[in-house]
Amino acid sequence: MGIFKIEGGHQLKGKIQPQGAKNEALQILCAVLLTPEKVTIHNIPDIVDVNKLIDLLKNLGVKIEHVNQGTYTFQADAINLKYLESEAFKKDGRGLRGSIMIVGPLLARFGKGYIPKPGGDKIGRRRLDTHFEGFIKLGAKFRYNREDYFYGVEADKLKGAYMLLDEASVTGTANIVMAAVLAEGQTTIYNAACEPYLQQLCNMLNRMGAKISGIGSNMLIIDGVDNLGGTSHTMLPDMIEIGSWIGLAAMTKSELTITNVSWDDLGQIPDVFRKLGITVEKQGDDIHIPAHKDGYEIQNYIDGSILTISDAPWPGFTPDLLSIILVVATQARGSVLIHQKMFESRLFFVDKLIDMGAKIILCDPHRAVVIGHDFKSQLKATTMTSPDIRAGVSLLIAALSAKGTSTIHNIEQIDRGYENIDTRLRAIGALINRHKEND
């Protein structure tokens, strides 16, 4: 177990490049199981969750070559299906929520897919019904071992079907799409998720020989094919990391340039930060955040009522950035209501910010009102524990803006989603060091 020691209150300066997108990587890596041919993937982030999935694929028999930083080749021409019924798989699969997305490709290509109940962030109830209801509509038989928390689906041959998803689940849509591309006939998925990362997956599958139309909309039409071939693919930059660096720049009154952000795929993210009064400048494909020496002011609605920032399925605002928005608001001029609709435990980290001196009223598990300090009162350093990836980075940003030296425990949660974060932050002037728990 490791900790971060962070001396806050210092301005940062320089350029920082976002890593490849974590949530895209988890989908794309599972898609390599759909073909026996070689697939080359670029801009893969070197983070715990992605590396766990790569190890799981290796144990499944996928031939993997690490070509250079961020680039791997994968060839799934000798899959060991017996591994799926081993104790080792039960352990490996439980350690990563993204492992659920191996089920669709395995079901489509080999007629069966199994998974133990997967792990991930402790941010509330995250059900898997959408995934399995989709597989059942394609003709799969579902079974669940309650004693081992082990799920399975099997089918001789999947058949295309019409389905209306009960929720626009990103991983659920991805999993069903990967199953449907090799199904017999046409599949229509209505209320499909349409995030840029899912668009990336669909475009990659089409390059492999799939026939998917409606990409970018909430209705996908998939005409099944007999087999898929190899391809190469480059990940988008991670929009959550981009939002994190915008928030970091504002909170520390720093001038930062975030490079190669793929502006067209950021959706509402720049405008939501602008609603907090933060200047977000487009410079080519970079984002420039000037030093906010005079702070930033939250924009109320035109009738004068308090601004509400809430999450919603794409093209709405991503729930993964609400904790960053909340932290940034603690030093704004004005007040804002943060409404986390999609998960019921993601705001519970606010008690740590309150301990640091933030003015936050937690209304219920989904809503918090933040009353900004306008930098008239700095947050105070403290000792805290990272509860999940996004809250962990939010606390890290708070610590970098705070007066004094803070300690963050359980930093493995942050490492799950952010590549070499301490090294990259030191490169722009942050005073952050990694230590072992008992150093």
β-pairing verdict for 112-116 and 38-42 = unpaired
Which position among 49, 92, 121, 238 bears the catalytic label?
Answer: 121
In terms of phi and psi (left: phi > 0; alpha: psi -120 to 50; beta: otherwise), the region of 352 is alpha
Among the residues of 129-182, which ranges form H helices? 129-137, 170-180
Three-class SS state of 39 = strand
CB of 262 closer than 8 Å to CB of 40: no
Q: Which residues contact 354 (CB under 8 A, 6 or more apart)?
A: 360
Q: What is the phi-psi region of residue 382: left when phi exceeds 0, alpha when psi lies from -120 to 50, beta otherwise?
A: beta
Alpha helices in 293-407 (DSSP H): 322-329, 350-355, 389-401
Is 121 considered catalytic here?
yes
CA nearest neighbour of 98 among 41, 161, 172: 172
- Which phi and psi (to 5°) does residue 83 adopt? -60, -30
Alpha-carbon distance of 276 to 283, in angstroms, equals: 20
Q: Phi/psi zone of residue 304: left (φ > 0), alpha (ψ -120 to 50 degrees), beta?
A: left
Residue from 153, 150, 81 nearest 116 by CA: 150
Strands (E), 176-318: 186-190, 211-213, 219-223, 231-234, 255-258, 281-283, 286-289, 307-310
Instruction: In whole angstroms, give the CA distance from residue 193 to residue 199.
Output: 9
- Tokens standing for 203? 């475009």
Q: What is the DSSP letter of 123?
A: S
Residue 415, token pair as written in the block = 């490492």
The catalytic site residues sit at: 121
